[in-house]
Amino acid sequence: MSDSGAVLPWQVVRQDDGGNRYRVGRYATEAEARKVADGLDDRHRHQVYRVERVGQGTRP
């Protein structure tokens, strides 16, 4: 595994109707992750996208 030195503590997670969760991406800032999640929410209204700090569970 390569160590690029990048710290990406925020992730966007998609949750489907069955409760399955899939990480969409990881980001350096909460603001960046929220921008991505908001854009996905606008395009995919039948999916739920959440912003979480890696290792700390769901954030409101």
24 within a domain of the structure (yes/no): yes
Please check whether residue 1 lies inside any domain of the structure: no
Tell me how far CA of residue 58 lies from CA of 3, 42, 50, 52, in angstroms.
26, 20, 7, 5
Report if residue 59 sits inside a domain: no
Residue 58 lies inside a defined structural domain of this protein = no
Task: Outline where 1-60 has alpha helix (H).
Answer: 30-43
Whether the per-residue pLDDT at 3 is higher than 70: the answer is no
Whether 21 maps to a domain, the answer reads: yes
Higher pLDDT, 60 or 43: 43
- Residue-range definition of the domain harbouring residue 35: 10-53
Beta strands at 48-53 and 10-15: parallel, antiparallel or unpaired: antiparallel
Instruction: Express each pLDDT in 6-57 by its tens digit.
Output: 789 999 999 888 889 999 999 999 999 999 999 997 777 678 899 999 986 5
Q: How many domains does the chain contain in total?
A: 1
Domain-located, residue 32? yes
Contacts 24+ apart (CB under 8 A), 32-36: 36/12
Say if residues 7 and 28 touch (Cβ distance below 8 Å): yes
